[in-house]
Amino acid sequence: MLQQSTPFVPAWDSADTDVEAWSVKEELASAIQYTAPLLVPWGVQVPAKLRPIVESDASTSYDEAVDVLNGGAEAIAVRPDSGLMEALGADVVSERVLVVLRDGEELSAEVQPAGLLVEGERIPSSDSLKRYVRRMNTSVSGRGVYVRAPVASLDDVRAIAAHGATAIIGTSQLALEQPSAGQLDYVEAWMCTMTSDRADGLLPTLVVSDTCSAALGLVYSSAESVRASLKTGSAHYQSRKRGLWHKGATSGATQRVVQLRLDCDQDALEFRVEQHMGDVSVGFCHLTDRASCFGNLQGLAKLEHTLRARKQSAPPGSYTARLFSDATLLSAKIREEAQELIDARDREHVAFEAADLLYFALARCISADVGLADIERSLDAKSKKVSRRKGDAKPAYMPKNEPLDASAPIRLPVHRLSETSASQQIELLRRPAIRTTQVMDRVRPILAAVKERGDEAVLSFTAQLDRVQLDSTVRLPPFQTEADKQTMDARTREAIDVAYANVRSFHEAQKAPAKTTPSKHAAWAPGEDVMEVTTMPGVVCTRFPRAIESVGLYVPGGSAVLPSTSLMLGVPAQVAGCKTIVLATPPRSDGSIAPEVLYVADKIQATCIVCAGGAQAVGAMAYGTQSVPKVDKIVGPGNQYVTAAKMLVQNEVDALVSIDMPAGPSEVLVVADMSAEPVFVASDLLSQAEHGPDSQVVLVGIDLDDAKLRAIEDEVDKQARALPRVDVVRQAIDKSVTMLVQTREEAMAWSNRYAPEHLILHTTDPEALVPLVQHAGSVFVGAWSPESCGDYASGTNHTLPTYGFARQYGGVSTSTFQKYITAQTLEADGLRHLGPHVVALAECEGLEAHANAVRVRLQQLAP
């Protein structure tokens, strides 16, 4: 919308209508370009650098008016009785139309234009001006009242401005320097309403970059410095010590003037400039390595500055040099990052992928000598278009496949082991790719910020990524308020209580009880089993557990409600005896935590709840902050950013923190033979497929005939269609597989190669298959053991290794939160028998001090 900003608007009043006529007024045209729009009659051609307000006439058609506005005109001036008002529509009128009125005319209250152009034989009276200004609510809305009447002096300009209106002055009446009789000095007229609270009359001036409007510095201006800037197109300011100051004249860091603006109170200026680099200085600031007096540039402005510098001086063979020299590589990276942005789902992922795409897109622009200022001007030009395209994508970018047929069966792709080559088997065993390196690159700066700034960084990332403004990082017990207790229904509370009891019972049983006959060293771990072995006479070795002192539990959250994960992590930590239990979970959109999670946090006696998710929560627990206790181990599932953060802090020596295991998408492998119930098999497969599009489900069929396989497939299709997340299920099933084998041994061999998170046995005598299981997170034995029970309440833990890591890891258990210490006690006779062998081994390895520690004792024992 055209905003009132200057005390006058120049108007072309020459009889010439050709753009060439401007050549004789080049200086004045430049001054207008930098400072104000220009009112021109219909049919006058103006240089492209000017911002015209075009006055329509009786012959102006709707299409012509639209073409003018689409071409970039600031506004079009029309009579209220013109058919253009109705044709253009209320939205365009309110943003881009000035209504022309004769002094004394009124405008219908229903019409809300961008401004009024009031004309008369003389300047309207004070009452008339006030009425028009009130009509437009100019002092609040900025919608201007422009007065076209004879203006003889600067006092006339000030008088009009004093009522909140803007004078219109013909270009023939304006001169940039040495005005003749009857002319006004352009700079004096432009600045005549400005006031300064300084004794020297100088005006505070904010200098901003044409790139992203980044503030470069604060200086002062005078009429003299403004005039020099308008004449030369190079920024001049008024130094309080040195007088007129041509910025960069000695350093080379000059500034091309783009636009000058007055602030709304008429007591400060803004210089919008294109900053050039000097011979030594990188920008505006006298500190040679700073582009701005307020510090270094940030965000996109910083990226452009860096890319321009790299384009000039990137080391040969560097990645940046390749991007600028290899158009094919750069094009491929733009397409790759665009697709990754399309595929991104969670907020953090979308932000990071968008940043990557912007990096490569800007590299492409810089390679063509196009900067952010050029892009912003293009956006501004597009925003002025009043005719809109439908906006369909080009055919080449539309999906070529037909819309999914809702009647098409949802089935797992089928393969027979006997007909599958070794290379095909490897591909079928492969999980969807996880871009670990790229994700870690995005997580590192988040961890570094949390490590350096603590709570401030955690709260900042929560606001930025989760769009939640919190006052505090942690909540302290008791966690459930009375309102939370009222929110939870009794059925859910009872279910959590049952699950808690079962999980606690199973995890307490994992602690080996103290021996009925206490050993000599039982006091070393009261209530625990102290393993004691006499390895040779007089040599006793022992092993005993200790709880990990401080642990962090990561519970995914936000829109999800996951009290089950809180139980699966919190109960074994509680049973193990961990002194500090920190539970981290992302807050909901209103900043709250699900009352079910709060209820579990109270039951497991958590020390505090960190109201944050993602890498920032992992960093807070790993390093500790002003309010978050530092932990010794971090446990729990999460998305790829949580997993990457856990892996990074684990490998950082200073962090001194361990983790449970890496994590990937959920998965299940079901082994079924002819005895399997198709309804059960299908339900177990779908229970994991609904987790997400990257989840995998595998059916291993043992000697299934066509009818049994079809029955299972039909049930998968039938049950999937009844699920609310059927679209997600379709995607997951497409990445899944049915493998048909002949024997039970082949089935278990395939399962072990896959190493599933969940293994379900739907066979005759399923217990007999358990001895063949080598690699699995958790096994569900028999038709009456659905995976869902293990997920929630049977007692086993649902935090399990995925992505094939069941080959190396087990699921979370009580021992996850414990460590084992060994001890040895040697009596004198024991050392006499063992010592010589130790000396021999130490001498063999060349470690003389080791050998000597035994020798001196043996010498004491010598008769």
Whether the domain at 440-514+546-659 and the domain at 664-795 fall into the same CATH topology? yes
Cβ-based burial of 26 (10 A; exposed 0-12, middle 13-18, buried ≥19): exposed
SS3 state of residue 511: coil
Specify whether the CB–CB gap between 641 and 615 falls below 8 A: yes
The pTM (predicted TM-score) of the whole model is 0.58
Specify whether the CB–CB gap between 243 and 234 falls below 8 A: no
CA distances from 818 to 368, 592, 633 (A): 60, 32, 10
Is 758 one of the annotated active-site residues of the chain? yes
**What is the reported pLDDT for 683?**
96
**774, two tokens:** 């080598």
How would you label 353-385 residue by residue, b for 16+ Cβ within 10 Å and e otherwise?
beebbebbbbbbbbeeeebbbebeeeeeeeeee
595 prior amide bond cis, ω within 30: no
**What is the reported pLDDT for 540?**
95
CA distances from 67 to 36, 64, 591 (A): 22, 5, 49
Backbone angles phi, psi at 732, to 5 degrees: -65, -45
Cβ-defined contacts of 775-781 (< 8 Å, 24+): 775/751, 775/806, 775/807, 776/669, 776/751, 776/752, 776/806, 777/801, 777/802, 777/806, 777/810, 777/811, 778/811, 780/684
Specify whether the CB–CB gap between 409 and 717 falls below 8 A: yes
Annotated active-site residue in 528, 596, 757, 787: 757
Strand-by-strand arrangement of the 203-209 sheet? 215-221, 203-209, 269-275, 255-262
The owner of tokens 């422009």 is 146
CATH homologous superfamily, domain 8-191: Aldolase class I (3.20.20.70)
**What is the reported pLDDT for 109?**
84
SS3 state of residue 181: coil
The one-letter code for the residue type at 312 is Q
Annotated active-site residue in 163, 305, 758, 798: 758
Specify whether the CB–CB gap between 9 and 77 falls below 8 A: no
Say which CATH topology domain 302-387 has.
Helix Hairpins (1.10.287)
For the beta carbon of residue 724, count every other beta carbon within 10 angstroms. 8
CATH number of 440-514+546-659: 3.40.50.1980
Categorise residue 634: left if φ over 0, alpha if ψ from -120 to 50, beta otherwise.
Answer: beta
Q: Concatenate the DSSP letters of all residues of 251-268 into one string.
A: TS--EEEEEEEE-TTSS-
Q: Which residues pair with 217 in a beta bridge?
A: 207
Is 757 one of the annotated active-site residues of the chain? yes
The owner of tokens 């970039």 is 72
pLDDT in tens, 704-731: 999 999 999 999 999 999 999 898 899 8
Segments in the chain below pLDDT 70: 1-4, 16-24, 388-392, 394-406, 434-435, 514-519, 558-560
Domain ranges of the chain: 8-191, 203-297, 302-387, 440-514+546-659, 664-795, 827-861
CATH number of 203-297: 3.10.20.810
Q: Which residues pair with 260 in a beta bridge?
A: 271
Contacts of 552 (CB under 8 A, 6+ apart): 582, 583, 584, 610, 618, 621, 622, 631, 633, 634, 635, 636
- The number of helices, as runs of H, and strands, as runs of E, in the chain is 30, 31
SS3 state of residue 613: coil
**What is the reported pLDDT for 404?**
47
**What is the reported pLDDT for 312?**
83
Domain 664-795 has CATH 3.50.50.60: no
SS3 state of residue 821: strand
CA gap 534, 133 in Å, rounded: 101
Q: Please choose, from the candidates 25, 34, 35, the residue with its C-alpha nearest in 3D space to the C-alpha of residue 44.
A: 25
**What is the reported pLDDT for 401?**
47
For the beta carbon of residue 390, count every other beta carbon within 10 angstroms. 4
Eight-class DSSP state of 167: E
